[in-house]
Structure 1
Amino acid sequence: MAAADATALGDQPPVAANFLLEVDGIAIGTFEKVQGLEVTVAVQEYAEGGVNGFVHRFPGQMSWPSLVFSRGLTKSDNLFEWMRKTAGDGFQGAGGKLERRTASVTLVDVGGTRLRSFSISDAFPIRWTGPALATADTSVLSEELEIAHHGFTSSTLA
C-alpha cells in the first residue's frame, strides 16, 4: 500500500480500537471488539456440455454473519432498552411484530472525527451475555452482544 493510501481517511492511519455502535441514531456504546463485519457471495457453478476447459461460475446469494460486540460494562441503559423492544413486553407492545432497526458501526480517529460508517440493515439483538461474577475474580467486567441483520453498506464520512 502506498504511503498516501495509508492515510486516505485522515492525517493518522486509523486504528481498530476506535469505534461505536448506534441504533437509529441512539448511542448504544463503544465496544472493545466487534466481529462479523464480512460478506460472502455464494458461487453457483454450471458445467456446460462440450466446454471442458472451465466451469461457468455465477454469483449467488449474499450472506452476512451475525455481528458480535464485546466490551466493558457502561452506565447507559440504551442496550437493554433496545433488547426490551425486540422481546418480552416490548415485543408484545409492537403488536407481536419484530421491529428491526438500522444500526451503524462508526470508525473514529483519535480526535473523535468520524471516518467511516457501516450502516447495518434490519438489525435486532439475538443474544446478550453478562459478566461472569466470582468473589476471587478481579478481571474487568464485560458483556457481549450479538445482533442479526440483513447486510450492511459502507461509506466514508471524513
Structure 2
Amino acid sequence: MTDAIFASSVFFRLTIAGDDFGTFHTCEGLGAQMEVEQYSEGGNNGFVWQLPSRISWSNITMTRPVTSDSGKVLTWFNDVIEEADREDGEIVALAPDLTPIVAWQVLGILPVRWQGPSFDPSQSQVAVETLEFSHEGIQAS
C-alpha cells in the first residue's frame, strides 16, 4: 500500500520565472478541455471516429490574505504590461507544515486580473487579494 498525503489545509506556492510570489490559500482552475472532432468513415456504420483536436486550458485563480509578498504580484503585473513577456512558472501544493505534496509546471503565464483587498473598518474580515492568469499549458513536475 502506498502512503498518501491527504491535506485538509493546503497552501500553494507560486513562482514565475524563478521569482517566489509566496503562498496562496486557494488555487482554482487547474484544468483543460480537449475538443473532439467526429469523423464518419464511409461504409462503417457501427461507430464514428472521435479525433482529438484543440486543447483549451482554464485560467488559474489564486487568492490569499494580503502579505508582504503582495507587492510582488502587482510589480510583476505592471512589468508584463510594459513588455508582454510570457514566463513559465510553478505551482506547488504544500501540506500545513509546508512539505511539498505535488507540483505543476505552468507554461507561458500572462496575468489576466489582479484584485486588491477591500478595506472596510466596519467589517472584521481578512483583507484578501486575488490573482487570475492565463497560460499555455500545464505539465507535471
Deviation at 1:124, TM superposition (A): 1.5
Cα 1:44–1:5 change in 2 (3 A) is farther
- Normalised by the length of structure 1, the TM-score is 0.80
Of 45-54 and 104-113, deviating more is 104-113
**In structure 1, which of residues 76, 83, 86 is the aligned counterpart of residue 77 of structure 2?**
83
Structure 1: gaps (5+ residues): none
**In structure 2, which of residues 47, 56, 73 is the aligned counterpart of residue 54 of structure 1?**
47
**In the alignment, what sits opposite 1:121?**
107
**In the alignment, what sits opposite 2:127?**
141
Counting matched residue pairs gives: 140
Query: For 1:66-81, what aligned pairs fall within 5 Å after superposition?
Result: 66-76=59-69, 77-81=71-75
Matched-pair contact (CA < 8 Å) for 1:107–1:117: yes
Q: Matched residues, percent identical?
A: 26
Higher strand share: 2
**In the alignment, what sits opposite 1:13?**
6
Report runs of 4+ in structure 1 exceeding 4 Å deviation. none
What is the rounded CA distance, in whole Å, between the counterparts of 1:15 and 1:154 in structure 2? 22
* 1:114 partner letter: P
Matched-pair contact (CA < 8 Å) for 2:93–2:102: yes
